[in-house]
Structure 1
């Protein structure tokens, strides 16, 4: 359901006149699932438009996040020798089909079997063709995904680019630490990683945030029931301690850079969100 929510946000963003990202596949995912078939895929389909906290501000956040992480991935592969891209918890990500990858790129998508099967069904129905070699790995991240990745052809002696988008705040703290540690172990020099975390001390302080209440009321997803509320590890600091160079940003940094996206507001559910970028020398 959360993957469908983000797909709907990408669809809305794609149809804006001032779009930050174009994803022609997103609305097809939304329409193909019975749970989301009635959701909007254009802002014009929302009665209160951009004033709607879910389909306005929150959707624009996901559009901005998509653009920033698109830029990270393309910059990482075009400015280095890295040709392995690993999408952890890939969901309905269509980057293997959307982005202009350099020759020789392999995009590994790791997610649960049911998610990838639905994705295959929709993309096959559209006769979609990936712009890189695409390898799907149907496994839960709680299982031995590293072994499955190796079995699928991942080369630990070559540099790689990793993405954990909208993933870590659903995991227990120990699982986040394990995942980040595993990425470090599997990454050689020249590798890069981007991920998103939430740093609020108490998520329930934002229980009445318009982003959370509107999401629950309009589409029945209570994000605070899905997020893990344990104290979060300092994954950026852990990577720095292992020799990675890291930078941590608030999403609003990129709103100001691109001139589009959410800005801070009162009782803001996005206040603790951070986007982390790391490189292994």
Structure 2
């Protein structure tokens, strides 16, 4: 695939820039011989954005390999997260779910790269500049989704996204696989609670929901860890400034209260299971991360 550079606006700053950071990590992961996940589109997003000039998109462009705190350790974390959530969504599809909603979809290309059942539909919700940049890049590549893909420009901090979703053809009477990958880290606490409530209200029995949060307050030593420092100093992304500082809600408990069966794990649980990915280390910027997987059984 060859691409020219499309116009770009807000994708180059703030949370939009984190989507490009994750895309770079996925591109690097794709080139590893032991790749946890593969995304052949990811590198094209990085090269299409001027803010990412000079960022690596192949393993050989990261001299320190997995020892590099940004493109090694944090990058491998994003590869692991992609793999685990890929597996979750495909397991939901195998269980008969044909409706998928990606909350805060960013530069996600699951509609293009995963082997979905032919009658599936993937709804992607995110801010308009992010979706527009993604669409322009994919159009230049001539990319075709494997299933019906429905991008929806909406702000998840506002309740209007629910109406936009149903207007786009989403059917709340059918089981849905919901995913919030890298979303709740940046939302205010109250917005996270509203999203959780909306997902419950629009989920038929048998729906699934996977999401990522940080549940543990991070110490000063963790906040000064090489992962955060490298992201800030080398690519201009101050993750700590982007993370919402409010105390986080116990969303797993809220889901349980509303009839969901939940299981919460650490990323390291999956590193151990798969034999690849980051392992715990002192003053770890990944130690507070939790992944929750839920099934709605009202």
TM-score strictly above 0.5: yes
- Note the alpha carbon deviations across 1:66-102, whole angstroms, 9 max, x for none: 000000000001112x211000000000000000001
Match of 1:241 among 257, 263, 271: 257
Moved more, 36-45 or 16-25: 36-45
Is the Cα contact below 8 Å between 1:216 and 1:222 reproduced in 2?
A: yes
**1:186 — aligned with what?**
202
Structure 1 CA distance, aligned partners of 2:221 and 2:230? 16
**2:32 — aligned with what?**
16
Structure 1 CA distance, aligned partners of 2:284 and 2:200? 32
**Structure 2 gaps, min length 5:** 1-16
Match of 1:209 among 217, 225, 232: 225
**1:119 — aligned with what?**
134
CA change 1:225–1:203 in 2 (3 A) is: farther
Structure 2 CA distance, aligned partners of 1:71 and 1:230? 31
Structure 2 CA distance, aligned partners of 1:39 and 1:29? 11
**1:139 — aligned with what?**
154
Give the SS at the match of 2:51. coil
**1:197 — aligned with what?**
213
**1:252 — aligned with what?**
268
**1:94 — aligned with what?**
109
* Count of matched residue positions in the alignment of Structure 1 and Structure 2: 280
The CA deviation at 1:49 is: 2.3
**2:93 — aligned with what?**
77
Moved more, 217-226 or 196-205: 196-205
Is the Cα contact below 8 Å between 1:68 and 1:254 reproduced in 2?
A: yes
